[in-house]
């Protein structure tokens, strides 16, 4: 059971959403359908954008990267949950737990930053149309995407290192279906109050900051369109409302999970389902299928595949 000088725990036990066989079958069906939807929806989005020269604007360039991140983000937790529900194998090795924790925060924070960049792109296109092509040139888009990945990596490596420095020598049951910093830190054989506050403020402030920037961007966009184009108000309101809805589904549970006072009970497992599975499943529906250009491109792609 020894692991160097830092831990005697070699594995953790993950608690599934339910111990009832009927509910486990229901949850397995939900996660399987959700994960399949995420994979197929985002892969279709990537293929459609990459194969159609008409979809070469910065908006679709960023959307393509969002689809890739969604696949990575959901793949960190969903396959493990499916195996646990099907085979009831709840143990995860210490190294596997740390890897899951790292990639979960890496992909999740990168997605937060990218959603913020996408909101800035829409704000620039609508509120600064004459400077849009100069501001959102292809080189600038690549730099913004690289900055999102870099920011996600820095955030994730900080969270992982804070967790690795903790001693684990006793309890090893995590009250969740995946490894996250706060549930894992609470199993340490030491006073982790300061560490928990650092972890929570890191993730929570990033979530809250990005969310506020997103809401402000959409509010400015709506105000601009509302003042200029009376005939486009309903469409603008519908688009902004749908985007804010899916963004809220992703950010609100993260803010609730990480910005709660220290010492409170662990986050509800069903709250975690919203931002790890449900929200990535909604992204292709909201950002892709509501776009007439993308739908038309998908029809052309389908006709080429049938020819």
Mean pLDDT of 159-175: 86
Q: What pLDDT, in 10s, does the model give residues 120-151?
A: 988 888 888 888 888 999 999 999 999 999 99
Mean pLDDT of 230-240: 61
CATH number of this structure's domain 11-299, picked from the four choices 3.90.1150.10, 1.20.1070.10, 3.40.50.300, 3.40.50.2300: 1.20.1070.10
For 171, the 3-state DSSP assignment is coil
User: What residues contact 97, with CB distance under 8 A and at least 6 apart?
Assistant: 11, 12, 174, 179, 184
pTM: 0.87
Distance between CA atoms of residues 302 and 292, nearest Å: 15
Distance between CA atoms of residues 49 and 139, nearest Å: 18
Confidence check: pLDDT of 216 > 80: yes
Query: Of 95-104, 113-122, 283-292, which range is least confident?
Result: 283-292
**Residue that wins the pLDDT comparison between 6 and 230:** 230
Per the listing, tokens 């928990």 go with 196
Distance between CA atoms of residues 240 and 275, nearest Å: 20
Q: Residue 91 forms beta bridges with which residues?
A: 13
Q: Strands, DSSP E only, in the chain?
A: 11-14, 91-93, 173-174
Distance between CA atoms of residues 174 and 166, nearest Å: 15
Question: How high is the pLDDT of residue 19?
Answer: 65
Query: Of 39-43, 119-123, 243-247, 276-280, which range is least confident?
Result: 243-247
């Amino acid at each position: 059971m020894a692991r160097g000088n830092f831990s005697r725990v070699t594995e953790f036990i993950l608690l599934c959403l339910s111990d009832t066989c009927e509910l486990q079958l229901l949850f397995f069906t939900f996660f399987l359908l959700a994960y399949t939807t995420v994979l197929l929806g985002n892969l279709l989005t990537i293929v459609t954008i990459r194969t159609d020269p008409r979809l070469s604007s910065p908006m679709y360039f960023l959307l393509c990267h969002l689809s890739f991140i969604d696949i990575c983000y959901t793949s960190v937790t969903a396959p493990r949950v499916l195996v646990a529900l099907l085979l009831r194998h709840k143990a995860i090795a210490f190294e596997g737990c740390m890897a899951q924790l790292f990639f979960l925060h890496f992909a999740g924070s990168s997605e937060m930053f990218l959603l913020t960049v996408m909101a800035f792109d829409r704000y620039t296109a609508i509120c600064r149309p004459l400077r849009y092509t100069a501001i959102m040139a292809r080189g600038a888009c690549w730099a913004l995407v690289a900055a999102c990945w870099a920011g996600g990596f820095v955030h994730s490596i900080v969270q992982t290192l804070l967790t690795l420095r903790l001693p684990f020598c006793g309890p090893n049951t995590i009250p969740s279906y995946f490894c996250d910093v706060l549930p894992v830190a609470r199993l340490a054989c030491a006073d982790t109050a300061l560490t928990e506050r650092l972890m929570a403020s890191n993730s929570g402030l990033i979530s809250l900051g990005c969310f506020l920037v997103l809401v402000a961007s959409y509010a400015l966009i709506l105000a601009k369109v509302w003042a200029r184009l009376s005939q486009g108000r309903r469409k603008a309101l519908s688009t902004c409302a749908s985007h804010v809805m899916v963004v809220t589904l992703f950010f609100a549970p993260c803010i609730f999970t990480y910005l709660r006072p220290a010492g409170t009970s662990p986050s509800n497992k069903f709250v975690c389902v919203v931002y790890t599975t449900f929200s990535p499943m909604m992204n292709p529906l909201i950002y892709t299928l509501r776009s007439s250009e993308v739908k038309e491109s998908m029809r052309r792609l389908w006709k080429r595949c049938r020819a």
